[in-house]
Amino acid sequence: MISIAAPIRDIVAELGPHHFEPTIHVEIKNIYGQEKIYVKEGSVHKEPLQALTGTKTLSPTHIQALKALGFHFFDTVQKRNI
């Protein structure tokens, strides 16, 4: 968790409080029977999270670490918080 949390905290600190967007919009897709969580296209979070995680999808560990930092997740397909 530390390896993910520290870089995100640095990004948030660099942007300052007036740029902080705590809700990350995601799309949950079923790919060959497995749920994959993608950051919504056009989201300000997409590129930084891909750079930090090294992948296009977010794992449950990523979600947990981001929630610990104060982020919230909204599934834009099912229109619900996750």
pLDDT tens-digit series, residues 41-68: 999 899 999 999 999 999 999 999 999 9
Are the CB atoms for 8 and 69 separated by under 8 Å? yes
For 63, the domain range is: 2-81
Which residues make beta-bridge pairs with 37? 28, 58
Residue 29 pLDDT: 94
**Structural domain count of the chain:** 1
Closest CA to 56 of 80, 79, 31: 31
- What is the distance of C-alpha 67 from the center of its chain? 9
**What percentage of residues in the chain have a pLDDT greater than 90?**
66
* pLDDT score, position 12: 67
Whether residue 1 is predicted with pLDDT greater than 60 in this model: the reply is: no
Of all residues in the chain, what percent carry a pLDDT higher than 70?
79
DSSP states of 9-40 as a string? HHHHHHH-GGG---EEEEEEEEETTEEEEEEP
